[in-house]
Structure 1
């Protein structure tokens, strides 16, 4: 595994220096870069995967979590600039989809936009009024994660693990509550949206509204499953991503 020498934000589990395109993957609330280790393994060497590591988890657990989604997008976009020497796409699941959208906006404004934005398990930003759910206790947070099936029960039953992940989870849920979409230009890059047909957090009609956020192409894939459908449907999700990225133009030599 390698990471940028100048930034703690990215984990490169399968370096692929000859890949024509990178895929920058943004985790869900409470998630970490290692969630995308299987993605890096499957896409290399044709696609080089950079998994984002938010502060407050795993090897960044001693850092305070970022409590604002816009602040998170600012920091990631700044860290991503050195990696924009090669065509890249963004993929985000749940909270990561909202962060990815805001990163794409910032990168396009800077003249280094992504080739594609892939979003998963998240309603369109124009429908986002901030998540109303406000857990009063840690027990409510754990119950919500169990319901969404985002973390194995064995991890949630381990008290030491819970102590490590709960601060990041609370910060991420707070960031989602505080997020407010600011109207602006639609993205220049195409958007491909995924959702599970039983996802209570991302109804099909709400995910379909992502088409309003791009001036380029839009695609929607509805797959069997709930909020974490992509764990069971990973092969199908990655097949779609491979097909979409196969036509990415190769960067000209510097």
Structure 2
């Protein structure tokens, strides 16, 4: 798997060249996740859609960089890296923590007069939902148990002490950014929002995913899939269908 940095910027990875693309999709990973999580999506969409995956500091090719413990700062830096990506119609997709980063990046684009075609938020409660979560204050074993419960990481990796030592710092900083985040009261975007969620996700009840309705002045839709927090890994065909329908509709419009 080869990642091509966008214009040399370490925040942005592109896995497939799509010179004829007329739409761009920017994808934001979950806590502890990396840009490569979206490689299969890029493989499916490349050609007509240029996919850019965000690479947060502290993992893979950026593992030597310190993780960011403030989600607003994370969004500021991601936006600076992406702000010239709107030369094509721009859609954002974020899973779990990435949903919040995508929302904040969308706000920053709109704040400088930019336009986002659509915001997809996956596996995350709406920002207006208040719930105390401080996984970042747990010991290493507690964080590993949380990740294991989510079934989002290959169990073999969790048994490898050397790999764990490499990923735990970024996991902890991501959780701290996620769990200390508070949206600006009344914060909304002008683009449509689609929330996606697994029907057995204990971290994102349907009512809390529905709360994303409060964050847009445009249309809202909620799509529910069979599965847990990482439903999108077990239901790739259905999720890809949602994205394909969106881009087909956008092209028609």
Could you tell me how far apart the structure 2 residues matched to 1:2 and 1:100 are? 21
5 Å matches for 1:1-254?
1-129=3-131, 131-248=133-250
The CA RMSD measured in Å over matched residues stands at 1.4
CA apart distance, 1:247: 2.8
In structure 2, list runs of 5 or more residues that go unmatched: none
Asked if structure 1 preserves the Cα contact closer than 8 Å seen for 2:135 and 2:143, the reply is no
Could you tell me how far apart the structure 1 residues matched to 2:206 and 2:239 are? 16
CA apart distance, 1:128: 4.1
Q: Cα gap change, 1:162/1:185 in structure 2, threshold over 3 Å: closer, same or farther?
A: closer
Could you tell me how far apart the structure 1 residues matched to 2:110 and 2:197 are? 25
Asked if structure 1 preserves the Cα contact closer than 8 Å seen for 2:198 and 2:225, the reply is yes
CA apart distance, 1:196: 0.5
Asked if structure 2 preserves the Cα contact closer than 8 Å seen for 1:129 and 1:181, the reply is no
Asked if structure 2 preserves the Cα contact closer than 8 Å seen for 1:25 and 1:90, the reply is yes
Could you tell me how far apart the structure 2 residues matched to 1:202 and 1:49 are? 26
TM-score using structure 1 length: 0.94
Residue aligned with 2:121, SS? strand
Could you tell me how far apart the structure 2 residues matched to 1:85 and 1:59 are? 27
CA apart distance, 1:58: 0.3
Could you tell me how far apart the structure 2 residues matched to 1:141 and 1:203 are? 21
In structure 1, list runs of 5 or more residues that go unmatched: none
Runs of 4+ off more than 6 Å: none
Could you tell me how far apart the structure 1 residues matched to 2:87 and 2:173 are? 32
Residue aligned with 2:9, SS? coil
Residue aligned with 2:175, SS? helix
